[in-house]
Every structure is written in C-alpha cells, then in structure tokens.
Structure 1
C-alpha cells in the first residue's frame, strides 16, 4: 500500500467513525435540561488525523449566569426536597441510560482523545462504576448524635451547598466528569460543570442522557475556554463550592478567584510520581508496573509513574528489560483493538513532549529509545511519539522535576533506602508513588515515608471509587472519590435541642 493510500484509508475510517458518533447530535451546552446553543463555537479535533470532529458551543459569562440560575432553580424547586433514596433511584436510572450507550460513549472518547478503543471503553465503564458507587452511597449518609446529658439533645446534620462549580481536564473527560458529578449529586447539590474545550464530547453526551430522568437544571454543562467560561464560573458569587482538576498554575488562579467569595475548593493538580524498585523486586512484575504507569494513556495522566528510581544492584537488568518493554507498545489507529498506544491528544501536547525530549538530551541524559514519530505512513498525520526512556538522569534536570504529560520515562539509581526516600520526596508534587518489592516491611515503611496521597504496590493502579484520590503539596487540596469526597460537597450543622423535664 502506498503512503498516499495508507493516509487516505485511515482518514476514511475515521471520517466514517466521526459520522457515526456525531450523527444527529448537537454538541452544545446543556442548561436547564435542554440543548443550549451559543453564537460562538470551537472545533474539537481527532488527533489521529488532525481533522475536525465537530463544533462545540463556547459559553461566556452570560451563559454561565444562565446555568447557575437554572441550577439554583432546580435545587430550590425540586432537588433539595428529594430524599436520599429518591436521589439514589434517579441516579441509578441515569446510570442505566449510560449503560445502554457504552459503545457510543467509548467511540466518542476514542475519537476525541486518541485513546485506544479498549482503554476508552474501560474508562467509560469506570465512570459508570463511579456513579454507581455514589448512587449507592447516597442512601448510606448518616448524621451523628452526640451524647451529652438528659437536658440536651445534640445532633449533626449534613446539608448540601446548593450549587457547585466543577471543572474537568482534557485527559480523562468522562471519568473525571463522573468523579465530580457522582459525589456532588449524591450529597444533594446541583452542578454547573465546565469540561475542557479540547475534549468535551462525552461530558455533553452524558448530560443529554439525563434528559427526562434527572430534574431540569440538576446537571448543567458549559463548554468553553478557561478564560471565557471557567473564570466566570469560579468567580460567581452564587457558586458555593468549586472543584477543579488541572494544572498547578490554573489551580492557583481558581483558588484565588474562589477566595474572593469564600467558596471552598477541591484541587487535583499535577504530579511527578516516583516508582521505587527495591533490590528484591520481581523484575518482570515491576517492569510491567512501571511501563503501565508511564505509557498508559500515552503518559497524559497526572499520577503517571514518570520517575523510576531503581536500586543500583538491579539497575542494569531493569533498564534492559524496561527498554525492551517500551519497544513492544503497538502505536496505531485507536479504533483497532490491537493498538496499545494512541497519539497525544493535541498538537500543543506533541510539541511539549518533543521539547522535553530535546531538553533531556541537551542536559546530558541518555536517550535509550523513543522520541521520534513512528515510521508507519498511516500515522503520519497524527500526534504520535514513540515511548521514551531516559537514563543518566539527575534530580536537578527539568525532565526529572517538571510534569511532561507524555510517554517520557526517566530512570535514576539509588544505593540505600534513605537515598531512595530522599530522591522520591525531592519534588514539589505529591500525588502518587509506587513501590516495587517483595518485602512487607519495606512496603509499610515506604508507604509511611513517601510524601504522596496515593501509593501503589507492585502495580500501577487500580483506581477505585471506594477510596479517596488526591495529593499532597502542590498536587492539590482535598479529595475526589471515596466517602471523603461526599464530605467535600456537604456542610455540617450542629443542632442543640435543650430539654426540660417532661410534664403531663
């Protein structure tokens, strides 16, 4: 097959998939239970062929105002009066609608982000599992009675904020939306959610599938840019709580803006997560874990294992195995089931990764493999980069300290437990960390010593809705997931009831 025909074949395949995914769909804002068109639109692109999938509405301050007003109307008119069992029933009904469209949602996610279709389907299922967790947790919320004396009845109430503002990132659109919406709705809030302008399609479709199930205005989706849409949302005086996932720099701005009207914030920000390979580790196991941790989702994941720290006694063999493993990834069309790595999501991210590969070599790190675009002519128009492995890396190099958000692995060595901990914690981030060892003693000691909100042992993941997810230091404030996330969407009230002796 010639280069031209290869390129034409993949373009035709993706054009057909795009038509199936978007046919008769209006990807506009979703406000007050219906599609809400705006004058301005932005295009979302398929990163495999760098062609437009569809155009999406861009919301401005007036549209944000309409969404916040619709959310308050829904909260005060109906949603605040629903009991936890009723909210749970409605959420499960919405979940059933989502389950009926798993293939459609997976295809949209695949096209919009470039994720392999198998990964996209797993992430749709993960989003649904998250919503199921909170639909169940909705019924288990309890208050507390505090023992005092016979003349006082003291108890607590947990009450929703009312309307919350939520901003999700471009790398895990549907899963991140579920992380935000699940606890917020279960706690009794209404949501105004801004997805990324780059990858908004599945979030909009999720909201559309709530039609005639959730009351109008409970979920509002306002696509657009951070400046035009996100800014007015977090600055809005009637948004009582803000949850943001994204970069540290934007998170700082969100926190400052929310502080202007004393709205509490949950921030899930960046990471530069270490995976520590101790000398007793099973190398086959930890090579797989470290590779999964940096090459899953093409490295565009905040808790990626982007720094491997390996004991000097096993470093040579580990590096040899890891480089071989990196070369095994199948870069290809994400629509093909056998593809294990898709493109980066955008040209901007491709340029960022390419710049870091150059920076690493300029500063003396050794590029063991990767960094080039694949030679397959079918992939020539996509934002592909071969998996990267750097060795001879120091902790003062930018590739070892800055979040790259791509398939770039750095490998460093250590000689003692103390040195490993010092290297691992020598970062401004603290989202995740990994431990590779067969020693229970090392596992528990290292888990205590690592400055990270998540610790994975001998694996990368899993991420379950049952446990809180969030980081230390500049990786964020508060938690997504788990029962703890419910607390971030509720306010606690203490009620003192003074009692007299009963009289007849």
Structure 2
C-alpha cells in the first residue's frame, strides 16, 4: 500500500489515500465475527479532519445493536472463551498481534486519515498499541492466586475469574492506543468485549477487529459505531455488562458512573487533565524545552496528559521562554500525509471552536499571546488548524490555566520558591500527570512525592508511558489504573475458596 503522498494538492493527496482505503472494503459494525449494519439502517460519516471531507459511512448503532453485541459476547464467553486457560488465551492474543503487525501500513493510514495525525506518528502509535496488547498476553501467563496459611484442618486459596462481558468506551485522540490499553487486559483476563470507539475515529478499531477473524472465536471481540448518547449510553447501562472501562472527558465520566451505579457495575475511569511541567532553575534549557514542546504540542495538544501548564522558575523564565517560542515556531503544521509535518489539525469543527474560544478568553483575561493562534496559512481553506500557542503573563486562576483545552495551547506561569511551585502544580481539579525538570535528585524525588498526579516524568520523556507502569489519575482525573499487570485485576473478580481437610488418620 502507498504510504506517502507527494502531489502539490493536499486535497488530491487525501483523495488518493481514501481511495487506497477502499481496498479494505466497507466498514460496518463488527458483531459476532462479521460486518453488520445498524438495526435501524442509519449511518453517519466519519470525516478526514485535514480536508473536512468524508472518508466513509459507518452504522449509527443504538440500543438494539448493543443488545445484539452483548448477547454475542456472552455466548462466545459461555461457549469457549471463558473456559480457556491463560496459555491458550495468550497464544490467541499473540497471534492477533502478529496479524496486526502484518497490516501495520493499512492501520497507520486508517488512523492518520481518521484522526488527523501525521502518518509517521500514526504508525508509531499503532506499534505502541500492539506492544501493550503483547504485554498482557505475556503477563497473564504468570498471573496467579494466593494460598493463605490458616490451620491444619483447612486449605484456603484465591482464584480470579473474568466478569464475562466488559464494555470499553474509548476517545478519539488516541483511538487505537487506548483501545489496545483496554482490549489487552480485558481479553487476557478471559472476558469477551464490546468496544465503542468515538464517533469521530471508529475505523482503526473496526479494522483491528476484522483482523481478529479466525483467531478469536466469533463474538469475543465486538465493535459498535455510534454516538455516546445512543450506543455509549446503552452499553454503559446494559445489565449483562459486568465491567465498564471509559477514557474521556471528566463530565462524561460522571454520567457513566451515575449510570453504572444503577446496575452496580464496577468502572475504571481515565479522565481529563491539566498537567503541570515544573522547571527549576538548574536545568539544561535546550533539552527541557524539547521535552515541554513534545508534551504539549504532540497530537496538536489533544492529549489527556498534555503538559498544558508550564511552571518555570523566575530566574530562567526569560531565557527559557525565548527558546520555547523558537521551538514552537519551528514546528511544521500541515498536511499529515507529507513527510516532515509535525502537527495536524484539530479533530473537528466543534473542538476547533472550543480551542479558539479559549484563545479569546486567555487574551481577554490579560494573558499575553507570545506565539501561535489560528494558523494564518492552513493547508486547506478554512482548515481546523491551530499553531503551537504559548500564553505568558498568566495566573493560575485563569480559565486557560484551570480548564482542559485539548489543543496545542500552553499557559506559562512563573514561580520563585519550591513551595510555590508545588502549590501551583496542585491548584487544579485534575491530577493525571506532571513533569519535573531539575538536576537536584533530592528535589526531583521530593517534587514527585508532593505533586498530586498519577504519573510523574522527571527530566525527560514526558507523557511516554511504558508497559508495566500504572497509568491513571488523582482527583477528577479518574479512578483505577491501566497499563500495568495490576490492570488484569480490574477485569476479574477474586474468589476465596475454603476447603476443609480431614485428619487422614480417621
């Protein structure tokens, strides 16, 4: 498959790419190992955000489709999947990852077009997601219960058992990666799944599900396309779903918690963030600038753990900001199918309007727009492109410092003391992630302990979680952890078995 497009016309590039996707066939919802239309026959278009043109139409699923998918998953669990041992499940999952790698070019192109990502970024994200699925296929083989020392006349041990059917709801910003983060442990633990991708970016999950055909029993993996208030709401309230896992906005997480409460369904929630990056005066400025720029501008800032607040010591603030602005202005906003593009568009017009609204509120509140804003020369007319944006002269009570923008917008605040830095870092409703830059190792460990966040990156590699490292948030950033071996526990129920043992001499 062609994976780069070099005509002078952005629209022609994307038309050629969409034509390449046609060889993959039509995308429908994936239920019981086959494509299926929505029960109501309705569809909606998924849009290429670079050129605002349709990629294809997919089913607009509702409650009837959720019922069918859950029934399919439950049947597959009861018939085969739920009774397989860990080794058999592991082998099947690893076979799936091999197939996914064989089709990585197609998956990357799907993810690039659907999510507005530079093609090289999309490919790296597909590879990254596959690594997490592999991780769970391997660690599940070492998963074990415990034996409890009690007395000579009783043997006590624990075992873990899958829920049966789990519902997975994932966002649009990292459609494949976050689906992989949930599919890996859910399947490895022995559950069948019903996955609802975001309506903006359903295609990579659908294609990955198609690639599982003949590897998993039909019904083990089901993917429903549709809107949150329709398919998502029906999935989160379904009485047969034994476990829910959601990644997305904190306000939506509240709704899912309320809905799940009616059926007493356990939930894992990975929600929003307003993550600080704290820069002390003893850093390598060039290295730290590169890390900060990656942390806020990658994926056009559409990351839940984006370091959208830079807290920089006043002694180096001027020098640091000069270097940061230079770095921001060197990034290439443009056609995601052209080599060298660093930032793609905002995912949709609605999100573009949200981001630009915050640009207005920032300046209205008195912050200084050092660089960025709406792109003066976007690749296409009226494109949803925002340049890497830096606000200075900000205070931590401004909306641009307190609320999640989900765009390439960095708010800079200075501090003078360690205590002030920590207070500023913690003075938001969220606690998903944080960065710390300092050459003082004692201060690094102290800051990592004092900042209220689920993940802390010290001196580089910001927002690069690794298999085995728990990921999740404090405060409004969520409940539970993903990415580590312990995530298997979120997809299983623990049972304690008490066996009475008679005296053999009787």
TM-score w.r.t. the length of structure 2 is: 0.97
Q: CA deviation at 1:47?
A: 0.8
- In 2, the alpha carbon distance for the partners of 1:22 and 1:320 equals 47
Q: Report whether the alignment pairs 1:450 with 2:451.
A: yes
Whole-Å Cα distance in 2 between the matches of residues 207 and 163 of structure 1? 16
Residue matched to 1:158: 160
User: Unaligned 5+ residue runs, structure 2?
Assistant: 1-5
* Correspondences of 1:60-459 after superposition (within 5 Å): 60-375=62-377, 378-459=379-460
Q: Is 1:25 the equivalent of 2:25?
A: yes
Report how far residue 374 of structure 1 moved.
Answer: 3.3
**Aligned partners of 1:437, 1:422: CA distance in 2, in Å?**
17
Q: What is the alpha-carbon distance in structure 1 between the residues aligned to residue 464 and residue 368 of structure 2?
A: 31
Q: What's the CA shift for 1:466? A: 1.4
CA offsets, 1:232-280, max 9 Å, x none? 1010111010000000111000001011010000000000000000011
Asked if structure 2 preserves the Cα contact closer than 8 Å seen for 1:374 and 1:380, the reply is no
Residue of structure 2 in register with 1:485 after alignment: 487
Give the secondary-structure state (helix, strand or coil) at the position aligned to 2:209: helix
Secondary structure of the 1:483 match is: coil
Runs of 4+ in 1 over 3 A off after TM superposition: none
Alignment correspondent of 2:3: none
1:54-65 alignment runs, 5 A limit = 54-65=56-67
Q: CA deviation at 1:439?
A: 1.0
Query: How far apart, CA to CA, are the structure 2 residues paired with 1:355 and 1:491?
Result: 45
CA deviation profile, 1:173-206 (whole Å, cap 9, x unmatched) = 0001101100000000110110001100000000
Moved more, 410-419 or 342-351: 342-351
Query: In structure 2, how many angstroms separate the alpha carbons of the residues matched to 1:284 and 1:177?
Result: 34
Query: 1:3 — aligned with what?
Result: none
Contact persistence 1:29–1:57 (CA under 8 A): yes
Number of residue pairs aligned between Structure 1 and Structure 2 = 498
Q: Is the contact between residue 7 and residue 13 of structure 2 (CA under 8 Å) also seen in structure 1? A: no
Offset from partner CA, 1:116-168 (integer Å, 9 cap, x none)? 11110000001110111011112111010011121110100011111001100
Q: Is the 8 A contact 1:22 1:54 kept in 2?
A: no
Cα offsets for 1:455-478 (capped at 9, x unmatched): 011221321121111000000000
TM-score by length of 1: 0.97
Distance 2:372 2:253 in 1: 32
Deviations 1:28-47 (A, max 9, x none): 11011111112111101111
Query: Partners in 1 of 2:383 and 2:113 — Cα distance?
Result: 12
> 1:468, 1:209 → 2: CA distance?
28
- The answer as to whether partners of 1:184 and 1:191 remain within 8 angstroms in 2 is yes
CA distance in 1, matches of 2:505, 2:188: 42
Unpaired stretches in structure 1, ≥5 consecutive residues = 1-5
1:484 deviates by 1.6
SS at 1:386 equivalent: strand
SS at match of 1:468: coil
CA contact (8 A) 1:48 1:381 kept: no
**2:175 and 2:205 in contact (8 A); partners too:** yes
